[in-house]
Amino acid sequence: MSGGCSIVWFRRDLRVEDNPALAAGVRAGQVIAVFVWAPEEEGHYYPGRVSRWWLKQSLSVLDSSLKNLGTSLITKRSTDSVSSLLQVIKSTGANQLFFNHLYDPISLVRDHRTKEVLTNNGIAVRSFNADLLYEPWEVLDGDLSKCPSETIILEDESEKGSNALLARAWSPGWKNADKALAAFMNGPLLEYSKNRRKADSATTSFLSPHLHFGELSVRKVFHILRMKQVLWANEGNTAGEESVNLFLKSIGLREYSRYMSFNHPYSHERPLLGHLKFFPWVVDEGYFKAWRQGRTGYPLVDAGMRELWATGWLHDRIRVVVSSFFVKVLQLPWRWGMKYFWDTLLDADLESDALGWQYISGTLPDGREFDRIDNPQFEGYKFDPNGEYVRRWLPELSRLPTEWIHHPWDAPEYVLQAAGVELGSNYPLPIVKIDAAKSRLQEALTQMWQNEAASRAIIENGLEEGLGDSSEADGAPIAFPQDMEMEMDENTLRAAPTTTTIRHYEDQMVPSMTTSLIIRGDEESSSSEVGNFAEDSRIEVPINQMARTGNMQPQVDANATTGLPDSYHLQAESSNTSRASSRERDGGVVPVICNLNARSWKVEDNFGFLFSGPSLI
C-alpha cells in the first residue's frame, strides 16, 4: 500500500464489486468509506419513506461488506455534503477523494461544487463512470479511529410498522441484488417477453431499486444479458431472444434517462416541448386526491394506486396506465404525479421518472401524441383480463363478474347489488368520463395553441412577457399542493358531475414557487364528487395477497398501511437548487456519456419501461 489515505464517497453506488471509485481508492492505499446523508440538499425531492427504508438496509449490507474487508462505512448526517467531506478529510488526513458519477440535476451541481471546493483545499478529486467492470479485490486498511460515524436517521418511529412489512418482500443490499439478478436471469427472463403484458404476473425483474441505489453494476447486467442473448440465439430460442432484446431496451432507456437529465437538467420540471408550457392544466386537488387514494372510479387505475400506496411498488405497465390517466383524463399537472411517484415508490428515480412522465405527457419530441387518451377499461381487459389484479386491490369490487369488473358503471343494477357494489357509495362513479375527457382535451389543446400564439405576438411586439392572468408567465410553475386536507361531506355522495373546470395557464415547469395558484379543493364542485367516500372509510388492504415471485412472499398488513394518502402533503419547493443546475452542469463534473444520443434510444421503441428504467420490476 502506498500513497496516502483516500476517501471513497459512496452515494448511489452501494456495492463493493464493480465499483470504480472504490477500486481507485484501493489502488491508492488506505480507504475511508463515507456516506453523507444530506437530504436537505435534494430540495423537495427528499426521499420518501420506502426509499429511505431501502437505503437504510442497503447501507447496512455495505457496511458489513466493508467490515469484512477491514474497514467500515462512516456515515455523516449533514445539511452540506461538501463541508462534511472536508470534516472527514481533516480528521483522517486523507488527501484524495473518489466517487462515482450521478446525473440528476441536483447531483450535477453538488458534485461540481465538491470538486471545486476540495481541489481548492489541496485534495485530489477523481470521479468515475461506474458502468465499468472492476474487480477491486484487495484487503482494505482504513484507520477510522479519528473519524467517528454519526447516526443517520432514515426511519422514524411512526414509520417502523409500515417498513417492517417491506422486509418481507424485499432484500436490499448489493449481495442480495446479486442474488436477485442471478435469479431473474436464470428464471423469469426467458418468459419476460411473453408475460410482459400482464399487470399481475411476477415475471418482471424486480431489480429497479437495486439499480437505483447502485447495488448492481449496470455493466454487469448488460454482460449477462449479452451472454444469454448469444446462447439463446445459438439455440434458436426466439422467445428468449425476444425477451433479452426487450430487457436490453429497458436498460437503454435507463441510460437515455441519464442522458436526458444531463443534457436537459430541467427535464424533471419543464416540458421539453415548448408549447406544452401553455397547456391549461387542471389544478384540482380533489382530482389529485382521488387519484392518490385509488378512488377515480376506474378499477385498473384505482387498483394500481392502492398497490402503490400499500407496497411502494407498481408494475411498469400499471405505472403507464395511472400516469397516463393522470395527465390525459384528469389533466393534472404531471409534476404533481411525478412528485407523488417520487414520494411513494421504492425505486423512485428522478431521471427515469422524469423521462417516464415526460413521455406519457407527450412533452417529449419523440413521445406519443398529446391528444391520445388511453381508456382504462380496455387497458384493464388487456393487462388484467380476468380481473384478478383489480379484485386483489379493490376488495369492494371482488364479487363483481369479470364481464363488468373494468367498467362497473355499465353493469346492470341487479349485478351490482349481487356483488355488493353501490356506485357512488362504496365505490365511486368515474370521476371524469372518457368522452368528456376527450372533448376537454381538445378544448385544452386549442387553448394551448391560442396561448402560445398570443405569447409569441406579445414577444414579437417587444412587450414584456405576460399572459392573461399570469403575471409570471416566465417563472410561475403550478405549485405543488401544500396541504391535502380537505373537507369531505358524506352527504354529497352522488354529486352532480363536474360542469366547470378551473384551469390555470401558467407554465407549471419553470422553477420558482408560488402558492397563490392553489385552489382549495372545497371550492370546486368536482371535489364533492371526489368525496364519494367518507373520509374515514379507509380501504382495507388485502392481506397476504401481494403478488410476488418465488420464495419472497410479501405480506401486507392492513394496520401497517394506515389508510390511504388522504393527508399526503406535497411540500412547496423552497429551494432553487435546480435553478443553478443548467448553468453549472457543464462545469466538468461529469463527462458526457459516450456513445449515447437520443436517437439511439428512441423512447417510442421502449414503451413499457419508462419508469425506473430497467426497472420493469
Partner DNA sequence: GAAGCATTGCG
Partner DNA sequence: GCAATGCTT
Q: Which residues bind DNA (CB under 7 A)?
A: 368-369, 372, 374-375, 378-379, 382, 607
Q: Confirm or deny that 568 is annotated as ligand binding.
A: no
Asked whether the beta carbons of 302 and 392 are under 8 A apart, the reply is no
Q: What one-character-per-residue DSSP string does 203-223 give?
A: -S---HHHHHTTSS-HHHHHH
Q: Confirm or deny that 45 is annotated as ligand binding.
A: no
Closest to 100 measured CA to CA, from 257, 225, 258: 258
Least CB distance to DNA at residue 323 (A): 15
Look up residue 544 and give its amino acid.
Answer: N
Give the whole-angstrom CA distance, residue 166 versus residue 179: 18
Least CB distance to DNA at residue 368 (A): 6
Closest to 170 measured CA to CA, from 346, 392, 315: 346
Least CB distance to DNA at residue 320 (A): 10
Q: Which is nearer to DNA, 368 or 520 (CB)?
A: 368
Cell numbers 392518490 correspond to what residue?
A: 292
Q: Which is nearer to DNA, 374 or 522 (CB)?
A: 374
Q: Which is nearer to DNA, 51 or 377 (CB)?
A: 377
Parallel/antiparallel/unpaired status of strands 73-77 and 30-37: parallel
Least CB distance to DNA at residue 337 (A): 20
Q: Confirm or deny that 247 is annotated as ligand binding.
A: yes
Give the whole-angstrom CA distance, residue 476 versus residue 382: 40
Give the whole-angstrom CA distance, residue 495 versus residue 260: 44
Q: Confirm or deny that 204 is annotated as ligand binding.
A: yes
Distance of alpha carbon 173 from its chain centroid, rounded? 19
Burial zone of 557 (CB within 10 Å; 0-12 exposed, 13-18 middle, 19+ buried): middle
Q: Which is nearer to DNA, 146 or 372 (CB)?
A: 372
Main-chain phi, psi angles of 538, to 5 degrees? -65, 145
Asked whether the beta carbons of 268 and 350 are under 8 A apart, the reply is yes
Q: Which is nearer to DNA, 382 or 579 (CB)?
A: 382
Q: Which is nearer to DNA, 240 or 367 (CB)?
A: 367
Give the whole-angstrom CA distance, residue 402 versus residue 100: 50
Q: Confirm or deny that 384 is annotated as ligand binding.
A: no
Least CB distance to DNA at residue 267 (A): 22
User: In this structure, how many other beta carbons lie within 10 angstroms of the beta carbon of residue 23?
Assistant: 22
Least CB distance to DNA at residue 378 (A): 4
Q: Confirm or deny that 205 is annotated as ligand binding.
A: yes
Give the whole-angstrom CA distance, residue 287 versus residue 305: 13
Give the whole-angstrom CA distance, residue 27 versus residue 358: 42
Q: Confirm or deny that 192 is annotated as ligand binding.
A: yes
Q: Which is nearer to DNA, 203 or 375 (CB)?
A: 375
Asked whether the beta carbons of 298 and 325 are under 8 A apart, the reply is yes
Q: Which is nearer to DNA, 30 or 193 (CB)?
A: 193
Q: What one-character-per-residue DSSP string does 553-602 give?
A: -----TTTS-S-STT---PPP---HHHHHHHHTTSSSSPPPTT--GGGG-
Least CB distance to DNA at residue 319 (A): 15
Q: Which is nearer to DNA, 248 or 421 (CB)?
A: 248
In the annotated binding site, the residues are 192, 204-208, 247, 347-349
In the annotated binding site for FAD, the residues are 192, 204-208, 247, 347-349
